[in-house]
Structure 1
């Protein structure tokens, strides 16, 4: 029987920086945690998944793949074969406590997420001496990608110490290991990606000053790596940071510089992100016409997403929901509160359930807009629907507390 190559999985592996053996090793690590026994995936298994000879992997491989790439099997290019191909449920590790899944998830997130994430990712396994290879960097990229996925799911407050600690380890590796120029560039690229993610985690943890330093570090590492996408990401984050600091003209200049890069011209996702943030900058600088042009440019860039390869882990949050949510921020800055409320509501409708941090973020934004328009009852109803129990973000918690104070006045 003819088989069809799983191009989706191959694309995801490339985007996440996995080779065949690197992915097999990561699957085995997670499989041991889930099933309590060592995994058995090999380079041969991964070849068969990519070739299409295996269209629906065994549960001990499939569940780790779902966790690594943070998407259902069908979105990884696997093809179910009837009822026997349902996604299996991970074996329970409890002993009859009677707790519901939501309670267990909440305790996992709030009690020891930082420690759990660090252990699950095996951060201490990254070499700090000896010869560093591309396979080592591929494993590092996998860990950085999974931290980005964790941020998108529950926020970055609990990841701040994890990510900055891992940055310290990678810098030790940079100084203590030997490697060739290709590995050196790849390592700087990984450090740039992690620095950008750590900057966002710093914001969620309530450390905006550290975020500024981390975004600057991300740009430096991207320049050393010659990584154009990393440079565009870092410039975008620095523009956002300048805007948060109230330096609106500087934010506009930085954002325009990022849009002039070749990466922004070639990658519609980068272009959509930059145009969306530029719209906010124009709005806060008092130029509604330019803001409207940037919102339209972001929407046009979104229309070209289907022509682009799969996004890297850090950019998976950018979809129609996020673009609508960012447009709402621009409308709000221009005083167009009704339009901002409609765009925020649309973002919430479009957001997948897995994006719990963003659902809480835009839920708070919707309630804030309702308070600003004097609709306190609607704001109270909106705030009551916001589930922050699995979210690790002091930034979101503080804004929600402000809403509750406004409602109860």
Structure 2
């Protein structure tokens, strides 16, 4: 029998840029976080939800959906079994000012709401830290798959609050407390990165300030480096190279860069990308050369945090070089680094592959090689092209340039047909 359509879910998906397939993938990933086994939804499952054929998803799926969206299932138009459907219209889009106010409350609110557990005599120990670190690993993996999704930002924020609540749940050694603060700072830094990657810069600044305060309590130079290095990236994406260099200099000045050349290499590579934005070719080349030299000196077997080992390698250095030389207008050098990056990327770096492929297309177009540029751009996965803010933004610019340079060419017509298919309303 036909049920009334779930307009609330449809409205949320449209507002946040999800197709049926991409929402299924996000919920499946969240199910995996909850149960240890990846979920089994596909696009048709979500279309059943939108059509009202499924009014109340199973418990684990429902909980996973709530983690992805940050909303209770009832606010998404689902109706518990035995309850009549509501005629209430879909909720209006969230007020961004109110959302930033909520984020700013963040850690302090969680700490205040968690009453000291003096009556329970609970002991916070190493096992709690290990559990939090495992959740952090899951956040990192989700980020590499999906990029700057709002659901990742919200989940990381929630886990930071959970870590802070743990601080008030019982007694702990000074060492364990420092580790818990470090976990909270790590979660906040991931929320910050998801917001940067999704171009939600005001929210990223809120997360940055929370993360910086927590990192000071943790006294962990590795997480301090991550936060200040991300701050440099944030300001670079905002087009503020002066502040980007200043923030990145803080990261590069930490003791960990003197102890471990790999941290020094990452700081130098990101500095070079900032010099690219500032159109300082000499400084960019010097910093890239120094970053490469530091990477060669780094011990591959050294013990490093998971966020570092999971992403920074030769492929990421070449990705940052691609970014810098593209900004400088040195398209030939940018293309060379793009090919090196794509050849060396590890399979789990799906978001990074989509970004590097898009930048390669831009570098080829910059050299006037339209056929190669269009072929490369058409190879970008449709989900990233439509839903990853950075990829979508670059492809929109690419689209404008193609149709300005050669609007009536067969290559432009082929690209426009691809765009029509890729950016049409999802089924």
**Cα displacement string for residues 256-308 of structure 1 (whole angstroms, at most 9, x for unaligned residues):** 23222210111122111100011122233343222211101110111123355
What residue number does 1:227 align with? 220
Distance change in 2, residues 1:210/1:344 (3 Å): same
Tell me, yes or no, if the aligned pair for 1:239 and 1:251 is still in contact at 8 Å: yes
TM-score (norm 1): 0.67
Partner of 1:335: 329
Structure 2 partner of 1:263: 256
Q: Which residue of 118, 121, 129 corresponds with 1:137?
A: 129
Which of the residues 131, 145, 148 maps onto 1:153?
145
Query: Which consecutive residues of structure 1, in runs of 5 or more, have no partner in the other structure?
Result: 1-104
Contact in 2 for aligned 1:269/1:302 (Cα 8 Å): yes
CA pair 350-202 structure 1, distance change in 2 beyond 3 A: same
Structure 1 residue corresponding to 2:395, chosen from 383, 400, 407: 400
For residues 339 and 285 of structure 2, what CA distance do their matches in structure 1 show? Answer: 19
Q: CA deviation at 1:390?
A: 7.3
Give the superposition deviation at 1:225.
0.7
Aligned to 1:246: 239
Q: Is the 8 A contact 2:164 2:181 kept in 1?
A: no
Contact 1:106-1:390 within 8 A present in 2 as well? no
CA contact 1:186–1:225 (8 Å) conserved in 2: yes
SS in 2 for 1:261: coil
1:1-400 equivalence runs, <5 A: 110=25, 112-113=27-28, 115-120=30-35, 130-157=122-149, 158-315=151-308, 316-389=310-383, 393-400=388-395
Residues 322, 359 of structure 2: 8 Å contact kept: no
Unmatched tracts of structure 2, length 5 or more: 1-19, 37-59, 65-113, 408-427
Give me the whole-angstrom Cα distance separating, in 1, the residues matched to 2:202 and 2:33.
24
Distance 1:120 1:340 in 2: 43
Q: Relative to 1, partners in 2 of residues 1:405 and 1:174: Cα closer, same or farther, differing over 3 Å?
A: farther
Report if the CA contact (8 A) 1:199-1:211 is conserved: yes
SS of equivalent to 2:34: helix
Distance in structure 1 (CA, Å) of the matches to 2:379 and 2:331? 21
Number of residue pairs matched by the alignment: 302
CA gap of 1:307–1:314, structure 2 versus 1, over 3 A, is closer
Aligned equivalents of 2:369 and 2:236: distance in 1? 28
Query: How far off is 1:109 after superposition?
Result: 5.1
Q: Which structure: larger Rg?
A: 2
CA contact (8 A) 2:354 2:384 kept: no
User: Offset of 1:388 from its aligned partner?
Assistant: 4.2
State the SS of the aligned residue for 1:131.
coil
Give the RMSD, CA atoms, in angstroms: 2.7
Q: Which residue of 1 aligns with 2:50?
A: none
- SS state at 1:150 partner: helix
| Corresponding residue number in structure 2 for 1:87 | none
Native 8 Å contact 1:275 1:294 kept in 2? yes
CA contact (8 A) 2:269 2:288 kept: yes
Offset of residue 111 of structure 1: 5.4
TM-score normalised over the length of structure 2: 0.65
Q: Which has the higher contact order (CA 8 A, sep 6+)?
A: 1
Question: Deviation digits for residues 47-72 of structure 1, max 9, x if unmatched?
Answer: xxxxxxxxxxxxxxxxxxxxxxxxxx
Contact 1:154 1:355 in 2 (8 A): no
- Between the aligned partners of 1:249 and 1:367, the Cα distance in structure 2 is 28
Q: 1:306 to 1:388 in 2, by over 3 A?
A: farther
Contact in 1 for aligned 2:163/2:181 (Cα 8 Å): no
Contact 2:239–2:277 (CA<8 Å) still a contact in 1? no
Are the counterparts in 2 of residues 114 and 162 from structure 1 also a CA contact under 8 Å?
no
Report the Cα distance in structure 2 between the residues aligned to 1:160 and 1:404, rounded to whole angstroms: 29
- Deviation of 1:231 after TM superposition, in Å, equals 1.0
Closer, same or farther: CA 106–300 of 1 in aligned 2, 3 Å:
farther
Alignment check: 8 A CA contact 2:272 2:284 kept:
yes
Note if contact 2:124-2:169 (Cα within 8 Å) is conserved in structure 1.
no
